[in-house]
Structure 1
Amino acid sequence: MSGEDTFSQVPTAHIDMRWIVAGGDVIGQVVNLPRPLPTALFSLPPPPDRLVGRVADLEALLGELAPAPEDGMRTDLPQGENASSGVVVSALAGMGGVGKTALALAAGAIAHHKGWFCAELFVDLRGYTPGSEPLSAHMALDVLLRQMGVDPEDIPVGETERSSFYRSALAALERADDRGRPVLVVADNANTAAQVKPLLPGPGGHKLVATSRGGLHSLAGARHVDLDVLDLDGALALLAAELTSHTPEDPRAKDEMGLGRLIELCGRLPLALEIAAAYLKRNPRLTPDRMADRLEKAASRVDKLADPDRGIGKERALRAVFDTSLEHLDRGEAEVFLLVASTPGPTLGTAAAEVLTGLPFEEVEEVLEELAAAHLLTQPAAGRWGVHDLLADYARHHPDPPAERDLALERLLDYYTAVVRAADQHLQALPGQSTSNLFPDRETASGWLEAERATLVAAALAAPGLGHAGAAMVLPLCLGFYLGRGRHFEDLEQVSRSAQRVAHAVGDAYSEAGVWTNLGVVLRRTRRFDEAIDAYIHACDLYHQVGEARGEAQAWNNLGLVLVDLRRFDEAIRAHFRACEVFEQAGEAHGEAGAWNNLGAVLRQVRRFDEAIGAHFRAHEVFQRVGDAHGEAQAWNNLGSVLIDLRRFDEAVGVLSRACEVFQQVGDAHSEAQAWNNLGAVLRQLDRFDEAIDALSRAREVFHHVGDAHSEARAWTNLGAVLVDVSRFDEAIQAHTRAREVFHQVGDVHSEAVAWNNLGVALADLGRFDEAIDAHTRACDLYHRTGDTHGEAGAWRNLGAALTPGGVRRAEAVEAMRRSVDLYEATGDEEQALLMRELLARIQQEPDADDST
């Protein structure tokens, strides 16, 4: 396109087709068009009042229809392909109701307005019209010839002669035009390429636009445009435009939340949206939310989406529209579609489709390709097949489903259960342990789980309704490790709650204990600690009932972790000791190592450092012996934290660096970030500030990427402390403020106290003492509430320092320092208590502020 005919100047989602300004051009958001003249040579039906969300598609189509440059050469074709010597065929394809005809008519109206053609002809091939027989090419040629003014008596009888006569008539129209313009032919609603091929114009620059639910891919040289459903903005614009065209001030047009719900339930399909809008327009008091509720509760959304104007015809009823797509398939293809579209999940792999249908792999793959070409399925990735939500609803509620659909779905769930169990074995296997031969290695198993995750979750949730209690329980249990390690907590909670209900209903205490354990993982990670405790107690009791010592020990171990999060350290120590005992009794050395590792972490919290080091070394030894590299890294990471507390910084750097390496090797990004966070803290203590900032920034970025806001805030806390050391105080204040806000949001009072304390230090370094005093006061209060005496001692120490400058508030400073000394002594930290006594003595010897003046 060039000059005034370029359509690229329309970058909008809403094109208003209603009003006529003769000679106008494309300006802003409105394209003003004249109505087609009521003559046979200009027989395109009126375009839609507005075309929404199709600007890019419309521009592409107009680019094909635009006249070639005056020299007859199209610059966008390969060298030697002269547009004037042939014909441009544009094939618009997409599922029923996606708006193919609307796009073709809109393009035709714009082309008419710009005067690109001497005639614009239209024929409805009725390929997918409910209740109608498709129009043959023979009859379509008759329609087009009559539009061109050919006497019916002169129209040849044979199709080949009629096609030749048609091409000659097109050439005659071009010669008769004083500007020598070609003809546009729109062949709408084609079923097969056989309907369209005889309509291909001859040389002269004539253009043919054909629409079909299939791709018409056998039309040589055709430019294919596949239409998808609208994006959210386009769908919102369509509904808003429908409402305001009926009632200009309709307030529902601005209800983006309600309209958004309605849009998703309509699958963003234009026809479905227009039908929903018709219901809203019919009843001004019907809200989008209420309409969405009706669709959500309907037995079948497809049946609900029929135009309320019952006399308008089946073209405005989704089931009738989809029926016509199915009618054009052979019986085998139709059965495969109804099976595949009925399966749970957004996509289905070809191997799963083989199990579902019972067809050989190559055969089912070819059928799936045919269904995708007919726009009944999508192919989002190689070997994966999807279906639009409304087509899935149509298939699930089809009145004549495949005879063995229930058995086919049962086979599919059995297949998923077997393969998930095999994949889980690979993920959790230690060196030397046997694994299923369904996967060659751990990486392949993990890749399969990642590709299938959404489908497997959907299958687990659908299994109870399909009467498959085994899959309803086993799928969540075997997905637990993968989903937990990958931090897919929402998925894990959904499948675990579903499995718990099924296991309880069928009286399977062992499986119910397992899903309670998995549920506890989610609840702890999402900081719902009281619920997590209940979950683990349920698991402990059920495992004890069925005599499953290993499961009971693991539940005790996990319970201890929650109690640590709540700073209930004495209870946590008892829980971890209990886990160690039960693991040892059951001969589970590997599980016992995990419990010792967790016990070491809680012993560190109560400053029993020597015992903590012993626990971590004991855990590391077992992990190393059984070849569990990940567990070994966890032990190193925890040990590093203890060594930091003991100021054995060089040793801490060594073990934490090793933990980072191992976590990276095993692909656990979240645990690697935790190790980087700890490493950054110890590098700071060694005055290796640049390295510390790099390590902490790396940790913060990973935590942000995986969506762990709490751990990200911890990294911000450590990073802020280093920024203070390098005198980047403004950045430090921002880091500590961000950490404080997150800790407050998630209800972590102790970490919030740490952030307030660190913030006060940064503020004091900038001379903002009043703000620093407020921050340290808040820290003292929060530390006291959480029972952290040692942390409270540090906050009082910092408060005293903030009160000291100028000597004006020396009495308050002295009191704060005394509180700090007492608290350090109460924790047994004599080193800090001695330092504070010396500092207190110096402050008391200083002259009062008034004396110094």
Structure 2
Amino acid sequence: MWDLRILGPVELFAGERRLDLGPAKQRAVLAALAVDTGQTVPIEVLIDRVWDETPPRTVRNALHTYVLRLRRLLETLDDTGVRLEFRNGGYALRADPERVDLFRFRRLIRRTRGGAEQLREALGLWHGQPLAGLRGEWAAQLRDDLEQQRLSATLTLAPLELDLGTPPGTVVDLLKPMLEAHPLVEPLAAVLIRALRADGRPSEALAWYRRTRDRLHDELGALPGPELEAAHQATPPPARPANAPRQLPLDVRGFTGREAELSRLDDLLEEGDGLVVAAVSGTAGVGKTTLAVHWAHGVRDRFPDGQLYVNLRGFDPDGPPAAAAEALRGFLDALGVPSQRIPADVPAQSALFRSRLTGKRMLILLDNAADAAQVRPLLPAEPGCLALVTSRASLSGLVATEGARPLRLDTMPGTDGRALLARRVGDRRIKDEPEAVDRILTACAGLPLALAITAARAATHPHFSLGTVAAELDDARHRLDALADADPATDVRAVFSWSYRTLDPATARLFRLLGLHPGPDASLGAVASLAGQTAAEVRPLLTRLIQANLLVEQPAGRYGCHDLLRAYARELTDRDDAEEERRAATRRVLDFYLHTALIGDRRLYPNRTKRHFAPDPLVGGVTPEPLADLAAAQTWFAREERVLRAAVDLAAATGHDKHAFLLPWALATYFEREWNERDWIACLNIAHQAAERSGDRYRRARTHYSLGYAHRELGRPSEAYEHLVKALDLLGDDDTTGENAIVLLNLGTTARRLGRHDEALEQGRRAMEIYRTHGDRPGEASALNNIGWVHVVLGNYAEALEHCRLAVKIQEEEGNWTGAAHSWDSVGYVHHHLGNYAEAVTCYHRSRDLFRDQGDRRLEAIILTHLGDTHLAAGDPPAARDAWRQALDIYEEIDHTDSEEVRAKLRDDLARVHP
């Protein structure tokens, strides 16, 4: 069993053994992943957490190194359920959250208001200052947040211990260190004074009272509050009012999840006795009211003077938002003000409301607010009161002027969604149909309202299988129909419409067009191109959509919304926008991705052939990303990978065949280097279908060639050979472009892998002649290199060395560094077989450096494997082991099948050392 601790120094234990987590930055990477266990943390967020705003130039390489080391360390744990994965432009620590002390602590304090035993267990998890030894703004902020949660748990536990008869000296020992750390927290001092008096230590109690009183005066200019004075005078706290209003709606039975958000709301209660305003915002159906009501029920005992509630109807479909006067009259009535004494105008009503709260501790829940202006007259001014506001709007005005604490509520993670379904339909049905549950969770996009509707349907039709329910949701275009309901409050489409109706025409148009975007999120440039506008014109529209919680701004300047909102936007654009406008928007966004991808491909592979495949000119309103260098291109492809894959499907589905042909071609280099076999082949098949529809023989030949190349690299030489022969047949002998040379070149390589060496030599020579005829020197060098490889296989090392050395010379003269890297590998391989190990090592280092500079990690791993083989043959097992481990790290990162071959080499090496 393993445990990861961050409530103190960051430590990883395997049983009783503490593992070495390496330097501080490496420990910070693990901590930055651990706080979001189970969730993908984008690379940009990780960098910001670990390096703040001053990361080094090589920060991505450093992050990659730390991740690989941590992954290797986690693999040593007996528990195979823990792993570190790369997913969608980020990393995720996949593990049982219960093995992370932070999650156990939060679960215990969340679920046990008033439960002393579990609070003791929660506080017992602490073993020092959280994240001890880690520097930076993120670590400091998290440390402060966690200390506040610890303080809150201590303040809840200490009075309970006294009431339960726990020896008061034990309570004193619990409280003293906390008051040393938080000397101005009066409730902490008050309960310590009570404990000291109960323990027969009145003089010490008096000393702590005076010490706290003096600190309050010197640092805050304040006098002790009623609670501290009552503890000092040994008088009981004021009695709870018998007629206090209790207006909270019913709590949700079986509330599930939202642990982090509930903890953040808990933290607000520990900010002292000042007035606190919390603003909970989020998109329609995300569960804002449910969360607020559940939390309010949990803390109502902290507000003995009562709780007020009003639905402000900010997005009600049946009428305008509630007037402030209406809400204030309800509040004043609940506070016992006779109707004849309630003033007529809102300012006077608001003043009377605030005066009636004097000296009280009350919770005011302002639900479903339209905007900040509607809320302001309803805010208390009395320290000790808390106003909790929910709204689909972001309420940034309250944050700016009233100092409201914002809490944005996002969609539910899968674990919480699964738990919600289990509570509603029963664990047995969930366990019996796990695949159907996964489909339901995907279709509902983490939206609690959609999950609740689906669960209700399953619960009221127990004879339905969950597979039947999932099938109703599978069709994205009709998913909202499956989530329809006679009650508008529980009809997903109707609930969305209440937010959409508040948008101005330009913002509403942009929201509709986002339904045409091919992926779940988009950059500013992609959104601008979709709309046919400049970035400056689109930015304020995006801001309005974010404020309306119809869109979320994500890390790295991306914008997105959950799948159900995208489906709603698609419905709207199909209904309200002309087909011509929709097609123009689709063409613009496809142009953006195609032209940017072509720029990126040129950065990844500057010498890649580009004959006959120029795109059509850009349409108006499209501005591709410039992608200034290789690093920018790699970052862009990684960030846009899912969107680009969806763009290929969109191009094919909407009849944009040239885009459907060119996009896969532009993506092939990236897919190969990342070893994304599934998308590489799938996109090439789509390109092939588009080429067949075009009837253009060059396009058809190119897709057969590309499929042949991909299948060969993926270990399927027979399929590769068939495609390459078809490509050659389509080009014919009358090809005047030289296009058949690259096909012959790869046909020769494929023949060699099939063991047909004579044919391999022949095809290599034919390709070389065509390249020479067309003056293509890099192509000629590639043919020389291929011929040299065949001679290596045949054992003709002298001839092989001659061909491969000449290939290196030509490639470097022409600046074709990809070709040069391949040829250096070939020369190194020949030297290895000639027994010239030092020369081979030099060649491999040169090849590896070139592939690394180009970002081709798969080929870098291949060279490292060759390098390890040479070190072993030269009698240097440690150097061999180091090279193989580096290769294995890369193979595992890109999920390459050759990883098993390298593991076998390492196992054999270990067997040699420990026979």
TM-score (ref. length: structure 2): 0.69
Q: Are 1:421 and 2:598 an aligned pair?
A: yes
Shift of 1:721: 4.9
Aligned equivalents of 2:531 and 2:286: distance in 1? 29
Cα deviation for residue 192 of structure 1 reads 0.6
CA–CA distance in 2 between the matches of 1:9 and 1:441? 45
Structure 1 portions without partners, runs of 5+: 1-6, 30-36, 69-73, 75-82, 175-180, 730-853
Partner of 1:305: 483
2:401 pairs with 1:222: no
Greater shift, 540-549 or 621-630, is seen at: 540-549
Equivalent residue for 2:323, pick from 119, 122, 136: 136
Structure 2 residue 456 is the aligned partner of structure 1 residue 274: no
Give distance in 1, aligned partners of 2:540 and 2:302.
45
Give the alignment partner of residue 233 of structure 1, picking from 404, 415, 432: 415
Secondary structure at the residue paired with 1:300? helix
Match of 2:703 in 1: 515
Query: How far apart are residue 387 of structure 1 and its match?
Result: 2.0
Contact kept? 1:41, 1:119, Cα under 8 Å: yes
Tell me how far 1:15 sits from its aligned partner.
Answer: 8.1
Q: SS at 1:397's partner residue?
A: helix
SS in 2 for 1:471: helix
* Whole-angstrom CA distance in 2 between matches of 1:577 and 1:230: 61
How far apart are the structure 2 equivalents of 1:554 and 1:13?
64
Q: CA deviation at 1:432?
A: 15
SS in structure 2 at match of 1:709: coil
What does residue 728 of structure 1 align with? 914
Query: Does residue 661 of the first structure (1) align with residue 849 of the second (2)?
Result: yes
Which residue matches 1:166?
353
SS at match of 1:52: coil
Moved more, 8-17 or 660-669: 8-17
Q: Pick from 867, 871, 876: which aligns with 1:679?
A: 867
Q: Distance in 2 between matches of 1:437 and 1:379?
A: 19
CA contact (8 A) 2:496 2:565 kept: yes
State the Cα distance separating 1:446 from its structure 2 match.
Answer: 4.1
Spell out the pairing of 1:396-545 with structure 2 (5 A cutoff): 396-398=570-572, 400-403=575-578, 404-430=581-607, 438-544=626-732
1:208 aligns with 2:387: yes
User: How big is the shift at 1:58?
Assistant: 1.1
Separation of aligned partners in 2, 1:373 and 1:345: 22
Q: Does structure 1 residue 264 correspond to structure 2 residue 442?
A: yes
8 Å CA contact 1:214–1:374 kept in 2: the answer is yes
Which protein shows a greater Rg?
1
Same amino acid, percent of matched pairs: 31
SS of the residue aligned with 1:51? coil
Question: What is residue 372 of structure 2 aligned with on the other side?
Answer: 193
Amino acid at match of 2:709: V
State yes or no: 1:118 paired with 2:321.
no
Match of residue 54, structure 1, among 230, 250, 258: 258
| 1:8–1:59 contact (8 Å) kept in structure 2 | no
Structure 1 residue 527: deviation in Å? 2.5
Q: C-alpha displacement at 1:571, in angstroms?
A: 4.1
More deviation, 256-265/484-493: 484-493
How far apart, in 2, do the equivalents of 1:40 and 1:306 lie?
40
The aligned amino acid for 1:129 is D
Paired amino acid for 1:728: H
| Residue 402 of structure 1, CA deviation | 3.6
**Partner in structure 1 of residue 425 of structure 2:** 243
**Mean alpha-carbon deviation: is it higher for 101-110 or for 676-685?**
676-685
Q: 1:184 offset after TM fit, Å?
A: 0.5
The alignment partner of 2:457 has SS state of helix
Aligned partners of 1:661 and 1:253: how far apart in 2? Answer: 51
Matches within 5 A, 1:336-735: 336-398=510-572, 400-403=575-578, 404-430=581-607, 438-544=626-732, 547=735, 549-710=737-898, 712-723=899-910, 727-729=913-915
The structural deviation recorded for 1:443 is 4.1
Matched, 1:287 2:468: no
Q: For the Cα contact (< 8 Å) 1:117–1:182, is it kept in 2?
A: yes
Distance 1:537 1:361 in 2: 47
* Distance in 2 of aligned mates of 1:53 and 1:634: 53
**Counterparts of residues 91-102 of structure 1 (less than 5 Å):** 91-102=279-290
- Contact 1:13–1:52, Cα closer than 8 Å, also in 2: no
Q: Measure the CA separation in 2 of the matches of 1:498 and 1:551.
A: 22
Match of 2:362 in 1: 183
| Post-superposition offset of 1:609 | 2.2
Give the equivalent residue in structure 2 for 1:296: 474
Q: Does the 8 Å contact 1:492/1:519 carry over to 2?
A: no
Q: In structure 1, how many angstroms separate the alpha carbons of the residues matched to 2:710 and 2:608?
A: 28
Compared with structure 1, are the counterparts of its residues 701 and 446 closer, same or farther at alpha carbon in structure 2 (3 Å cutoff)?
A: closer
Secondary structure of the residue aligned to 1:452 is: helix
Distance 2:544 2:779 in 1: 52
Give the Cα–Cα distance (whole angstroms) in 2 for the partners of residues 166 and 116 of structure 1.
17
Instruction: Specify the SS of the correspondent of 2:576.
Output: coil
How far apart are residue 13 of structure 1 and its match? 10
Unaligned segments of structure 2, at least 5 residues: 1-101, 122-240, 615-623
The one-letter code of the counterpart of 1:242 is R
Contact 1:653 1:679 in 2 (8 A): yes
Q: CA deviation at 1:533?
A: 2.7
Give yes or no for contact 1:322–1:391 (8 Å, CA) kept in 2.
yes
The answer to whether the aligner puts 1:43 opposite 2:212 as a matched pair is: no
Aligned residue identity for 1:374:
A
CA deviation after TM superposition for structure 1 residue 688, in Å: 2.1
C-alpha contact 1:16 1:49 (8 A) present in aligned 2? no
Query: 2-side partners of 1:433 and 1:676: how far apart?
Result: 30
Letter of the structure 1 residue corresponding to residue 539 of structure 2: E
Do structure 1's residue 325 and structure 2's residue 499 form an aligned pair? yes
Change (3 A) 1:13 1:26: closer
CA RMSD in angstroms comes to: 3.3
With over 3 angstroms needed to count, the CA separation of the structure-2 counterparts of 1:10 and 1:609, relative to structure 1, is closer
CA contact (8 A) 1:623 1:631 kept: yes
Cα separation, partners in 2 of 1:669 and 1:609, compared to 1, 3 Å: same
**Counterpart of 1:823?**
none
Shift of 1:198: 0.7
Cα separation, 2, equivalents of 1:105 and 1:459:
42
Distance in structure 1 (CA, Å) of the matches to 2:284 and 2:658? 38
Q: Secondary structure at the match of 1:379?
A: strand
| Contact preservation (8 Å) 2:602, 2:608 | no
Asked if the contact 2:244/2:304 (under 8 Å) is kept, the reply is no
Deviations 1:176-218 (A, max 9, x none): xxxxx51111011111111111111012311100001122111
Shift of residue 11 of structure 1?
A: 3.6
- Structure 1 residues 814-843: Cα deviation after superposition (integer angstroms, max 9, x where no partner): xxxxxxxxxxxxxxxxxxxxxxxxxxxxxx
Distance in 1, matches of 2:761 and 2:464, equals 59
Counterpart of 1:829 in structure 2 is: none
Structure 2 CA distance, aligned partners of 1:606 and 1:429?
33
Higher relative contact order (CA closer than 8 Å, sequence separation 6+): 2
Asked whether the 8 Å contact 1:300–1:397 carries over to 2, the reply is: no
Q: Cα gap change, 1:423/1:497 in structure 2, threshold over 3 Å: closer, same or farther?
A: same
Q: Identify the residue that residue 316 of structure 1 maps to in structure 2.
A: 490
Partner amino acid for 1:206? C
SS of the residue 2:516 aligns to: coil
Amino acid at match of 2:416: G
**1:9 CA drift (Å):** 7.9
User: How far, CA to CA, are the matches of 2:710 and 2:325 in structure 1?
Assistant: 66
Give the match's secondary structure for 2:652: coil
Q: How many residues align?
A: 680
| Distance in 1 of aligned mates of 2:457 and 2:734 | 57
Question: Aligned partners of 1:263 and 1:613: how far apart in 2?
Answer: 59
